[in-house]
Each structure stands twice: as structure tokens, then as C-alpha cells.
């Protein structure tokens, strides 16, 4: 069996929504829940200016979410790329508060952690203060984002699902009955010898 970090993993179809953290400015947005996250792009200065996420849908196809927020020509940018389906977002943390005296609260800083132990960020104001938030997930992963935005990222919430190893039924659902017949009978129609591999180990490509 391959090492855990090389196994294909899948997120449960049962999700919960947590958050949002931040202010009430801007307009609400909701990317919904997906199968996983392929990349996260943020622009930032003293606050998080914008956020755009590329997801993977239930059929394994990439889905580029809308860009939420604005930004200026002076904004910095960063793109986090994940090795889906072997890597997932497993933690989100940051700060929210007023960027300037009297301004409404917004997301000031964001950081992300992945299932491979990678840490990305924090992105945002180096002197970010205000209210901290963190959502580390033990056995869970982020499969979607929601929040509020206008000129910048006003608030951020998460869709969270449990994570488990991919099983034969997941592969059959994705690839159809032909994959199952190929697994059982092989190309010649006769049952295929497993060659000392454990059942379903082929799922962990």
C-alpha cells in the first residue's frame, strides 16, 4: 500500500458550514461545497483585498469560482496550489478588524494549512490586530468558502467535510460500470489475478 500522503482521498458528501468571521460590509457570496480545492489566489495589502478559489466538482472537473473583493494596483498577490486529490486544506486562521480608524471590520490577515503539513501565509497586514479566528480540522477538510465582499474581503466562512480514503465504490461512481468490469474481469473477460496486491489498493494511485 502506498504511503498515506500519496493515497487518493475523498471528502464526504455531508458538509457543515462554519463562520463567517469578519464584518457585515459588502454583499454576501457563497461558492458552495465541492469535492476539494485545487488552488487559492488572494490579493492583499493592509486587508485581504480579494480571494478566488479553483475547486474540483463531484465529477472530478475543475471549477473556477468567482473573484470576491476588489484590489488596487498596489496590492500584493499569492497563489496556493494544492496537489488534489492527495492534498487538502485542513486549517484556516487569521484576524479581522478595522483597517483604519472608524472603518467597518474586514478580514485583515489569512493563513492556510494543508494535509501535508504545509503552512501558507499569513497574507495581509503585517501589523494585523483585532479579533483572531482559527478553525483547525482534525479529520476534516475545507471543500468550499462563503462570506461577504465589496471593495475587499469583509468576512469569510467555510464548508467543512470529513476526509476518508477513496474506496472502490467512489471509483465506480466516477468512472462508471466499465471501471468495475475491468477491475473484476480484466480486458479478457476472465477474473484478474490480484498479484499480491490487497483489494482496492488500486484506488490509491
pLDDT (tens digit per residue) in 178-199: 444 555 555 544 444 434 433 3
Task: List, for residues 59-80, the tens digit of each pLDDT value.
Answer: 889 999 999 998 777 789 999 9
CA–CA dist 34, 57 (Å, integer): 5
Q: What is the average pLDDT score of the chain?
A: 78
User: Which sign, positive or negative, has the C-alpha torsion 83, 85, 91, 92?
Assistant: positive
- Report in angstroms the alpha-carbon separations of 35 from 17, 32, 130, 182, 198: 15, 10, 33, 25, 26
Mean pLDDT check: name the lowest of 28-32, 36-40, 194-198: 194-198
pTM of the predicted model over 0.85: no
pLDDT for residue 199? 31
CA–CA dist 66, 161 (Å, integer): 22
pLDDT for 149 beyond 80:
yes
pLDDT for 86 beyond 60:
yes
Per-residue pLDDT band for 127 (boundaries 50, 70, 90) equals low
Structural domains of the chain sorted by starting position, each given as residue range(s) with its CATH number in brackets: 10-164 (2.100.10.30), 168-203 (no CATH)
Amino acid at each position: 500500500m502506498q504511503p498515506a500522503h500519496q493515497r487518493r482521498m475523498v471528502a464526504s458528501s455531508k458538509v457543515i458550514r462554519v463562520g463567517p468571521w469578519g464584518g457585515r460590509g459588502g454583499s454576501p457570496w457563497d461558492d458552495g461545497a465541492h469535492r476539494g480545492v485545487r488552488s487559492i489566489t488572494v490579493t492583499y495589502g493592509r486587508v485581504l483585498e480579494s480571494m478566488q478559489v479553483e475547486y474540483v466538482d463531484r465529477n472530478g472537473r475543475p471549477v473556477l469560482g468567482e473573484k470576491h473583493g476588489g484590489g488596487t494596483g498596489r496590492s500584493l498577490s499569492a497563489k496556493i496550489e494544492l496537489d488534489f486529490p492527495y492534498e487538502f486544506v485542513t486549517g484556516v486562521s487569521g484576524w479581522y478588524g478595522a483597517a483604519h480608524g472608524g472603518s467597518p471590520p474586514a478580514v485583515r490577515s489569512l493563513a492556510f494549512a494543508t494535509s501535508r503539513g504545509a503552512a501558507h501565509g499569513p497574507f495581509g497586514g503585517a501589523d494585523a490586530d483585532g479579533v483572531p479566528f482559527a478553525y483547525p480540522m482534525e479529520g476534516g477538510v475545507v471543500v468550499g468558502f462563503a462570506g461577504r465582499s465589496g471593495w475587499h474581503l469583509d468576512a469569510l466562512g467555510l464548508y467543512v467535510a470529513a476526509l476518508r480514503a477513496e474506496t472502490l465504490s467512489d471509483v465506480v461512481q466516477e468512472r462508471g460500470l466499465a471501471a468495475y468490469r475491468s477491475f473484476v474481469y480484466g480486458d479478457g473477460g476472465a477474473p484478474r489475478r490480484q498479484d499480491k496486491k490487497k483489494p482496492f489498493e488500486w484506488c490509491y494511485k
